[in-house]
Amino acid sequence: MHGFYNIYSPLLHQPKEGEFFYTMRLLEHVFGEQLNLGLDYGQLLIEQPIQILPILCLFFKEQSTSKTTLLKWFKIVLDNKHELIDQRQLP
């Protein structure tokens, strides 16, 4: 392997119907007016994991906008198959 490859493996758990109050509050806070795009993106990550998707980049000038919290949540939901890149670590 001379490049970078995504390796797919199924989720360890199955999504189920039910209330997700705290998750919805987090998504509303992060995505604001773009909530539907955020919901669509998350649904595709779970239901169509091998579909090619754009890279999700969240940029806010201010601090405490829950970007890191959202990415940590994605890592939990996706069984640690989601990468967190902090822009401060980029060259």
Could you report the per-residue pLDDT of 10-32, keeping only the tens digit for each?
A: 777 777 889 989 989 988 988 88
Identify which has the larger pLDDT, 52 or 84: 52
Q: Please report the DSSP string for the chain in residue order.
A: --S--------SS----S--HHHHHHHHHHHGGGHHHHHHHHHHHHH-TTS--PPP----SSS-SSHHHHHHHHHHHTTT-S----GGG--
Report how many domains make up the chain: 1
Task: Examine residue 2 and state whether it is found in any structural domain, yes or no.
Answer: no
Task: Examine residue 11 and state whether it is found in any structural domain, yes or no.
Answer: no
Task: Examine residue 47 and state whether it is found in any structural domain, yes or no.
Answer: yes
Domain span at residue 78? 21-89
Residue 33 in tokens: 């007016």
Task: Examine residue 7 and state whether it is found in any structural domain, yes or no.
Answer: no
Task: Examine residue 15 and state whether it is found in any structural domain, yes or no.
Answer: no
Task: Examine residue 14 and state whether it is found in any structural domain, yes or no.
Answer: no
**What is the reported pTM?**
0.65
